[in-house]
Amino acid sequence: MSLKTLILAAGKGTRMKSELPKVLHKVCGVPMVQKIVDTCSKIGSIENILILGHKKEEVLKLFQNSEYVVQNEQLGTGHAVIQAKEKLKGFNGTVMILCGDTPLLREETLKKLYNYHKSTEATTTILTSIYQNPFGYGRIVKKSGEVVGVIEEKEATDEIKAIKEVNAGVYCFEVKELLSALEKIDNKNEKGEYYLTDVISINVKAGKKVEAFLLEDNDEILGINSKIELEKANNIMRNRINNQHMENGVIFIDKNATYIEENVKIGQDTIIYPGVILEGNTAIGENCEILGNTRIIDCKIGNNVRIESSVLEESVVENRVTIGPFAHLRPKSHLKEEVHIGNFVEVKKSTLEKGVKAGHLTYIGDATVGEKTNIGAGTITCNYDGKNKFKTTIGKNAFIGSDTMLVAPVSIGENALVGAGSVITKDVPENALAVSRSKQVIKFDWRK
Ligand code: UD1
Ligand code: CA
């Protein structure tokens, strides 16, 4: 395929009122320019060229190996494209130009646009949509059904403003015609910018074939210029993501009350309750129940897992585990099959083998806990001396009585028993009982 894409991402995004470059704002967890580049990579483009300017170092962090061109001063979308002249010269094919602020465009749409452009043998094809409130977009001006030009909001007369067909900011150009038209654009307009959209009327006047490709789902072309539009885009994307999960067999109690990022995977018949937030590269298995106010970030969760009102970060949870309410898994925790952690239990960088139970008010950090061991309420692995972290090892079938302090480094043998209220500073051998607390004293009739 002789197609290249050019992605305009040099603008500051003044209307966004943000320190962060506009194109780095995220829609359902993915920076919008990243989303556009990913979509472009799927349509068979042989090269994606980015136009960068404002805070380009920050944007480049996402695209270590990408082709890019710098636009030092942001003098308009036409000026931005001119910066890529050297990269396009000599390329005898089609260039698709897109804006870095339209992340909702779908792969199929771009493919359809390209196919339409090819099949009509146009030199220029512009993606358009009908908007009931077209404010802010360039309007498509037609005469007897043919495109004659694009007029920007700022230049538009009342008559033009009434036009509802708008420019999506996506175009296919035959490179030769694009480059020769770009020589003719100027900045004699209200904004004092070089408009890429002027290329349309220049090509029409030169007798070149210019086509408009009308898109039905106008949600797709939403250009994000402000935080209000950003929220709108997040909503649309969230809806798309949640619908896709439902099509795959996931159950939502209220799809509008959950936030799930784009790369999350969820298995069939898993139920997502209101207030659930799933982020990053999280994968959840089948038949799970994820209940209210749970946030899961970059975790791998097995099948038949139940999680209620808990926070899980960068951890692995195996089949039939139950978590919460109010538990916290911090990074590098691994809960094997049938583990249960309950109210106010925090686990960090620890492995809990099959069937371990820690029902209440416990901190397990830098530890391994053997199969079927029971950790009583209020147990704490004291893993930190203010400078260094130390490990706690607990064997299988052990029983740690309530309110135990395990002062690491320390190990508790298989089948050992630790009496409630103990402070354990020395290793406990297997099958042993360890108690470390002052003896109870009774003084009869003391209160009399
Ligand atoms: C542009 C179109 C408008 C269209 C709308 C669709 C022009 C003149 N207008 O308007 O017809 O309806 O998009 O969303 O093209 N950029 C640069 N360098 C610059 C200026 C902008 O790289 O000098 C980049 C921005 O980073 C952005 C994109 O180009 O990603 C579009 O710029 P923006 O200012 O948002 O254009 P609109 O006013 O929305
Ligand atoms: Ca825009």
260 CA distance to ligand 2 centroid (A)?
25
99 CA distance to ligand 1 centroid (A)?
6
Q: What ligand is nearest to the CA atom of residue 14?
A: 1
Torsion angle of the four alpha carbons 191, 197, 199, 204, in this order, in degrees rounded to the nearest 10: -120
Q: Is the CB of 76 under 6 A from ligand 1?
A: yes
Classify 211 in phi/psi space as left (phi over 0), alpha (psi -120 to 50) or beta: beta
**What is the distance between the alpha carbons of residues 313 and 335, in angstroms, rounded to a whole number?**
12
Q: Is the CB of 128 under 6 A from ligand 1?
A: no
Residue minimizing CA distance to atom 6 of ligand 1: 169
Q: Is the CB of 78 under 6 A from ligand 1?
A: no
Exposed, middle or buried by CB within 10 Å (0-12, 13-18, 19+), for 392? Answer: buried
Exposed, middle or buried by CB within 10 Å (0-12, 13-18, 19+), for 151? Answer: buried
Helix (H, G, I), strand (E, B) or coil at 170: strand
Kindly give the confidence (pLDDT) of every residue in the chain, 448 residues in length, as a single tens digit, with 9 standing for 90 and above: 699 999 999 998 999 999 999 999 999 999 999 999 999 999 999 999 999 999 999 999 999 888 999 999 999 999 999 999 999 998 999 999 999 999 999 999 999 999 999 999 999 999 999 999 999 999 999 999 999 999 999 999 999 999 999 999 999 999 999 999 999 999 999 999 999 999 999 999 999 999 999 998 788 999 999 999 999 999 999 999 999 999 999 999 999 999 999 999 999 999 999 999 999 999 999 999 999 999 999 999 999 999 999 999 999 999 999 999 999 999 999 999 999 999 999 999 999 999 999 999 999 999 999 999 999 999 999 999 999 999 999 999 999 999 999 999 999 999 999 999 999 999 999 999 999 999 999 999 999 9
Phi, psi at 328, each rounded to 5°: -140, 115
Residue minimizing CA distance to atom 22 of ligand 1: 10
Which of 79, 334, 340, 360 is the catalytic position?
A: 360
**What is the distance between the alpha carbons of residues 428 and 282, in angstroms, rounded to a whole number?**
38
Q: What is the model's pTM?
A: 0.92
Helix (H, G, I), strand (E, B) or coil at 204: helix
Active-site annotation holds for 360 = yes
Contact present, 145 and 179 (Cβ < 8 Å): no
Q: Is the CB of 402 under 6 A from ligand 1?
A: no
Parallel, antiparallel, or unpaired for β 271-272 and 334-335?
unpaired
Q: What ligand is nearest to the CA atom of residue 137?
A: 1
Residue carrying the six token digits 């936030």: 259
Mutation probe of ligand 1 site: the residue of 83, 99, 105, 139 with most atoms within 8 A of C-beta: 99
Environment of ion ligand 2 (residues, CB < 5 A): 101, 223, 225
Q: Is the CB of 196 under 6 A from ligand 1?
A: yes
Q: Is the CB of 169 under 6 A from ligand 1?
A: yes
C-alpha closest to that of 272 among 235, 236, 242, 310: 242
